[in-house]
């Protein structure tokens, strides 16, 4: 068994409680232990989650989010999280079988955020995974063909979809790192990243965000940086949950 610590973060304006990735949790825990403020990288990540478009669309008001939290099932979430790890292991095997080594696998969406609906819900939560690496079109198609039986079996087990996206790093850099910020806003965490593919991309995206903010300040304009990139001064990270992944 592998122990996983996650910090729970209250998104005030949406009324939901989001599970933060383990690396963000570690940074927050370190800052708390040392009596320090959150560093600028963690602040930016929390800001992106605060302004995540999917959260805004699904929970227009805090009341909507509070109501939704009544349907959240953390026990079922742990089962789906474990299933995601199992699928990840099998994807790694298939990717290596076609000669790929430098790639990362991310878990994002409701399972990553800890906003999993109950198993018997009319619309139960699914599993969302992204494979990030330098895949050609042919390699991408071969990998998807190889993992299709794995996905079909998992779909039967959880009674909902298992989505697997295969993307290149340049795809995440496109449109001002739009896809990378989407993953960050979704509280994405790397289930597999031995070569630092995702961690490097995430750092790139957050550095880009900081440059945008600095350019805005230098030009004295209010319109040079999207609102969702603006870090906030205050965040509520109020509870740590210890979870076990089998």
Is the pLDDT confidence value at 84 over 80?
A: yes
Is the pLDDT confidence value at 241 over 80?
A: no
Cα(144)–Cα(49) distance, integer angstroms:
29
What pLDDT does residue 240 have? 40
pLDDT, mean of residues 178-191: 96
* Confidence at 246, pLDDT banded by 50, 70, 90: very low
Cα(11)–Cα(200) distance, integer angstroms:
26
* Confidence at 196, pLDDT banded by 50, 70, 90: very high
Is the pLDDT confidence value at 235 over 60?
A: no
* Confidence at 244, pLDDT banded by 50, 70, 90: very low
Cα(12)–Cα(41) distance, integer angstroms:
20
**For 4-8, 56-60, 232-236, which range has the lowest pLDDT when averaged over its residues?**
232-236
Please list the helix, strand and coil fractions of the chain in percent, rounded to the nearest 5, in that order: 55, 20, 30
Q: Please, is 212 exposed, middle or buried when counting C-beta atoms within 10 Å of its C-beta (0-12, 13-18, 19+)?
A: middle
**For 43-47, 98-102, 121-125, 135-139, which range has the lowest pLDDT when averaged over its residues?**
121-125
Give the other-Cβ count within 10 Å of 92's Cβ. Answer: 18
Contact 245, 80 (CB under 8 A): no
Contact 47, 236 (CB under 8 A): no
- The residue ranges of DSSP E strands in the chain, in sequence order, are 2-11, 16-19, 103-108, 127-133, 162-167, 189-192, 237-245
């Amino acid at each position: 068994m592998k122990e996983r610590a996650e910090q729970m973060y209250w998104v005030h304006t949406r009324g939901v409680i989001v599970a933060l990735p383990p690396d963000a949790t570690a940074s927050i825990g370190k800052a708390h232990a040392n009596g320090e403020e959150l560093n600028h990288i963690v602040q930016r990540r929390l800001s992106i989650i605060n302004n995540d478009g999917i959260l805004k669309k699904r929970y227009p008001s805090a009341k909507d989010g509070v109501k939704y939290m009544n349907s959240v099932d953390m026990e079922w979430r742990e089962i789906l999280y474990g299933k995601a790890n199992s699928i990840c292991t099998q994807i790694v095997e298939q990717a290596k079988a076609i000669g790929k080594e430098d790639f990362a696998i991310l878990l994002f969406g409701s399972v990553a955020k800890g906003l999993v609906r109950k198993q018997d819900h009319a619309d139960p939560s699914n599993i969302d995974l992204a494979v990030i690496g330098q895949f050609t079109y042919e390699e991408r198609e071969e990998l998807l063909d190889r993992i299709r039986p794995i996905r079909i079996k998992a779909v039967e087990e959880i009674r909902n979809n298992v989505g697997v996206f295969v993307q290149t790093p340049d795809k995440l850099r496109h449109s001002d790192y739009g896809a990378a910020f989407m993953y960050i806003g979704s509280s994405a965490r790397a289930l597999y990243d031995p070569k630092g593919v995702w961690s490097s991309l995430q750092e790139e995206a957050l550095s880009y965000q900081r440059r945008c903010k600095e350019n805005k300040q230098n030009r004295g304009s209010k319109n040079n940086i999207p609102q969702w990139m603006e870090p906030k001064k205050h965040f509520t990270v109020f509870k740590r949950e210890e979870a076990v992944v089998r």
